[in-house]
């Protein structure tokens, strides 16, 4: 007998939201890692919010929603709220019931900005890292460092003279000489004009830096700086300095780090620099390049590109959606935590 196509809508559902998510679905492993990390942030959330007044969006739900936006490459808060409205898996992950009303995008953004003013990104990143260390997924001895350009959320037409002498309001800038000394973006004053190499176009950029460990390629530390060549060396040594000192520590890097500033900075921290040696003028010699550890570091250091690739293609960091170095640093570190979660889920599987 052929079944009927049109049926009356069900008034009640007797299937719980929990049972609708498959037991073997990868999102369950992600949720477990996130829940453990959020427990450690409970005291911080208590300090951020007042005991009186109207209830706001719970910060735990904000963090979970932001993670979904990164993990599923949702480009705007409005699209995120639409997805949250009809996707039961999203509702389950965030902690909303099937009948709960979804927030307005503006309300969500204002509450998100409140969380972004604190150091929740650092605490959440450290809580995820703590779980990785507990499961012995991260090395404390061998690291890799690198930096990448993050295209700013600013048009080239916003790059105007600092003295306000732009008569045509930036509409016709062909033939003009522009530099970071005389010009700045009216949209994002922390962005800097920078080009990756000869023959490449100049863009308004920030620079994101990562320090990864060599066992499983997990991210250990992050930093965002103005775009510049020397910023890579300074950020690299800064991230290494924040790690606990242990005998035999090494750090791998590409040829761009084969400079006296970075190599001497590493040695001052008692970290052996395993940088790719330049031909005809390297700052390291055969005592370093002839070792087996150097060869392994040069192989492992290339895995840091996987982190940058995921954060740009999946995590929405190719062209940032926020303005100002402080906010970009927050979301960059939070995206790095999301990457670690996905890697931990895969490794533990």
The pLDDT of residue 13: 74
The vertex-288 CA angle with 282 and 293, nearest 5°, equals 130
Distance CA 229, CA 194 (A): 9
> Angle 59-71/325-348 helices, nearest 10 degrees?
80
- pLDDT for 7: 66
Q: What is the pLDDT of residue 8?
A: 64
Q: Which two tokens stand for residue 348?
A: 């533990």
Delineate the domains of the chain, giving CATH numbers in brackets.
Answer: 17-118 (no CATH), 138-160+180-320 (3.30.420)
Predicted confidence at residue 165, as pLDDT, reads 73
Phi then psi for 290, rounded to 5 degrees? -90, -5
pLDDT computed for residue 262 by the predictor: 94
Element (H, E) at 204: strand 203-213
Q: Where are the beta strands (DSSP E) in 94-195?
A: 142-151, 159-161, 183-185, 192-194
List, for the chain, all residue ranges whose pLDDT scores fall below the cut of 50.
168
Q: Tens of pLDDT along 298-343?
A: 999 999 999 999 999 999 999 999 999 999 999 999 999 999 999 9
| pLDDT, position 169 | 54
């Amino acid at each position: 007998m052929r079944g009927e196509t049109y049926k009356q809508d069900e008034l009640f559902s007797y299937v719980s939201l929990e049972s609708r998510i498959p037991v073997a679905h990868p999102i369950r492993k992600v949720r477990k890692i996130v829940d453990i990390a959020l427990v450690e942030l409970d005291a911080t959330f208590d300090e951020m919010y007042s005991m009186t007044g109207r209830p706001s969006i719970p910060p735990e739900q904000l963090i979970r929603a932001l993670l979904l936006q990164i993990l599923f490459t949702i480009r705007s808060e409005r699209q995120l709220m639409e997805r949250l409205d009809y996707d039961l898996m999203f509702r389950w992950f965030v902690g909303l019931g099937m009948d709960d009303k979804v927030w307005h995008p503006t309300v969500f953004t204002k509450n998100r900005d409140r969380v972004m003013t604190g150091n929740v990104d650092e605490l959440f990143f450290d809580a995820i890292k703590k779980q990785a260390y507990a499961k012995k997924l991260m090395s404390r001895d061998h690291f890799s460092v690198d930096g990448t350009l993050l295209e700013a959320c600013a048009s080239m037409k916003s790059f105007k003279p600092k003295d306000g002498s732009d008569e045509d309001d930036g509409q016709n800038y062909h033939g003009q000489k522009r530099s970071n000394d005389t010009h700045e973006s009216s949209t994002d004053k922390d962005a800097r004009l920078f080009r990756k190499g000869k023959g490449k176009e100049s863009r308004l950029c920030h620079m994101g830096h990562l320090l990864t460990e060599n066992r499983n390629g997990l991210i250990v530390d992050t930093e965002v700086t103005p775009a510049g060549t020397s910023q890579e060396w300074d950020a690299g040594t800064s991230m290494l300095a924040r790690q606990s000192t242990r005998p035999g520590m090494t750090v791998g890097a590409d040829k761009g780090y084969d400079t006296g500033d970075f190599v001497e900075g590493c040695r001052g921290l008692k970290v052996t620099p395993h940088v790719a040696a330049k031909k005809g003028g390297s700052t390291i010699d055969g005592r370093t390049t002839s070792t087996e550890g150097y060869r392994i570091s040069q192989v492992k250091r290339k895995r840091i590109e996987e982190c940058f690739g995921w954060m740009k293609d999946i995590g929405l960091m190719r062209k940032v959606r926020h303005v100002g170095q402080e906010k970009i640093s927050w979301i960059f570190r939070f995206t790095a935590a999301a990457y670690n979660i996905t890697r931990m889920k895969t490794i533990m599987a």
